[in-house]
Amino acid sequence: MSGVGSLVRPDLRGFAGYKSARSESVRGDVWLNANESAWANPADGEGRSRRYPEPQPPALRARLAQLYGVVPEQLLVGRGSDEAIDLLVRALCVPGQDAIVVTPPVFGMYVVCARLQGARIVEIPLVDHEAGFAADLDAIRDAALAQGAKLVFLCSPSNPAGSVIPLEGVAALARALDGRALVVVDEAYAEFADGASATTLLDTHANVAVLRTLSKAHALAAARIGVVIGGAELIAVLQRCQAPYPVPTPCADLALEGLSDAAIAQTRERVAVVRRERERLLYALARIPGVRHVYPSQGNYLLARFSDAEGAFRALLAAGVVVRDQRAAPQLGDALRITIGSPEQNDRVLSALNMQEVAA
């Protein structure tokens, strides 16, 4: 196997996966090959859920490919980017042998999937520069090579830190790890960020893959639609490792509707509001005396350090506002992550924290 195929677990290289009834290309008008019901459930309006879905619903796959500027064969649709992370780890890491590189403090699923697979975890912490947490790309490169890592997970914009990794840095890392590791850029929050997507590196860097999701800017978290984008060879391998019918028909229908031109125009408007509110909240939070530091963010959230994070968390809860407590995360012992809400919700955050200051 050439290119990125050599990164796939040797024992999976000839693996065909499950051949579902839907994946056989046969013609007919009486379908009695999948033990489905001949009649619809009364809850199922047009009877669209009577049959198993296509493993990769073609219209949705095509629309997503168009959205992300790739061809459908470069993209695998799954149950959120969570599933994509799991598939990557399972397809590339030999249990008990191979490793992944992660950059704490960062989204927890990379490590969860690695633990479940029995893959080793190499941690290269983000460096706290006050102006923002930065990935130490030289240290990542050296550790990946020294530890024989198969996967490097970069999160950009990073959750919860909010910083982005310059694309030149991602490209240089991919070149240094060519033939050794796949560099995965998790862009769950890319719509809220300035700058180009790492998908622009795919044509020139075979060992780059990108994760995107409809859960954040597109406001469809419950539909559980996320994608991994990469070379067609990698995508075909990942599909063979995926469950037979990963995309439920009602979810595919909802996602397709949610990606209509009109819906995308509304998504852009929501993103503009989030970006405006992000700036407003950044400055307003920084003026509150108990707030030690607020990190600039390219995501739909802000990471803030507090002189009394416990008190701030409780004051917010008492006002009915639930934020993410980050205190158990490395380097974040005094930090909370606040999702950017509607202007009214953000006002609730500010008034709860200001009132805490007055009471203190």
Give SS3 for 263. Answer: helix
Closest to ligand PMP by CB, 81 or 242? 81
Work out how close the CB of 297 gets to ligand PMP at its nearest, in angstroms, rounded to a whole number: 13
Q: In what order do the strands lie in the sheet with 75-79?
A: 75-79, 225-229, 208-213, 182-186, 149-155, 99-102, 120-123
Work out how close the CB of 85 gets to ligand PMP at its nearest, in angstroms, rounded to a whole number: 7
Closest to ligand PMP by CB, 115 or 175? 115
Work out how close the CB of 160 gets to ligand PMP at its nearest, in angstroms, rounded to a whole number: 8
Closest to ligand PMP by CB, 75 or 315? 75
In 3D, which of 59, 301, 331 has the Cα closest to residue 188? 301
Q: What size, in residues, is the chain?
A: 360
Asked whether the CA dihedral 167, 172, 173, 178 is positive or negative, the reply is: positive
As a whole number of angstroms, the distance between CA 223 and CA 257 comes to 12
Backbone φ, ψ for residue 79 (5° rounding): -80, 80
For the chain, the farthest-separated pair of C-alpha atoms sits apart, in whole angstroms, at 74
Determine the residue with CB nearest ligand PMP.
80
In 3D, which of 192, 203, 246, 213 has the Cα closest to residue 70? 203
Work out how close the CB of 19 gets to ligand PMP at its nearest, in angstroms, rounded to a whole number: 27
Closest to ligand PMP by CB, 90 or 290? 90
In 3D, which of 298, 300, 285, 276 has the Cα closest to residue 335? 285
Give SS3 for 247. Answer: coil
Work out how close the CB of 91 gets to ligand PMP at its nearest, in angstroms, rounded to a whole number: 17
Work out how close the CB of 86 gets to ligand PMP at its nearest, in angstroms, rounded to a whole number: 10
DSSP at 30: S
Closest to ligand PMP by CB, 210 or 309? 210
Q: What is the DSSP string of 281-338?
A: HHHHHHTSTTEEEEE--SSSEEEEEETTHHHHHHHHHHTT---EE-TTSTT-TTEEEE
Binding site residues, ligand PMP, CB under 6 A: 80-82, 107, 155, 159, 186, 188, 213, 215, 221, 226
Closest to ligand PMP by CB, 226 or 290? 226
Closest to ligand PMP by CB, 141 or 212? 212
Work out how close the CB of 31 gets to ligand PMP at its nearest, in angstroms, rounded to a whole number: 32
Closest to ligand PMP by CB, 184 or 315? 184
In 3D, which of 271, 306, 264, 315 has the Cα closest to residue 285? 306
Work out how close the CB of 162 gets to ligand PMP at its nearest, in angstroms, rounded to a whole number: 11
